Amino acid sequence: MDYEIECKMLEKNYVTCLHEKSVHDINVPMNCRVERILWFMTDCPTRFTKFTTKSGIQEAHDKWQSGVYEGSEY
């Protein structure tokens, strides 16, 4: 199994969950898979670690704003 690809997918899901939680919009279809958050924390600890600091969250937010998580190559 290619953990790099899986970790990218799990990170994208995690960021999607954070974004959807912050929006609170009833009309937005939910793409978040909550059960995958646990797998992201346990299977990809180095990627998850960046979300435990303020600078890491800011980096993820900047990536989200730039559309990095929307690309198929991510």
Q: What are the residue ranges spanned by the domains of the chain? A: 3-70
How does 21-38 read in b/e, with b if 16+ C-beta sit within 10 Å? Answer: eeeeeeeeeeebeeebbe
Q: Which pLDDT tens digits describe the chain residue by residue (74 residues)?
A: 468 889 999 999 998 888 888 777 667 677 888 889 989 989 999 889 889 999 988 988 898 888 887 755 55
Six token digits for residue 14 = 């995690």
- pLDDT value for 40: 92
Among residues 48, 12, 47, the alpha carbon closest in space to that of 31 is found at: 12
Question: What is the helix (H) or strand (E) element at residue 25, kind and residue range?
Answer: none
- Give yes or no for a contact between 48 and 17, defined as CB atoms under 8 angstroms apart: no
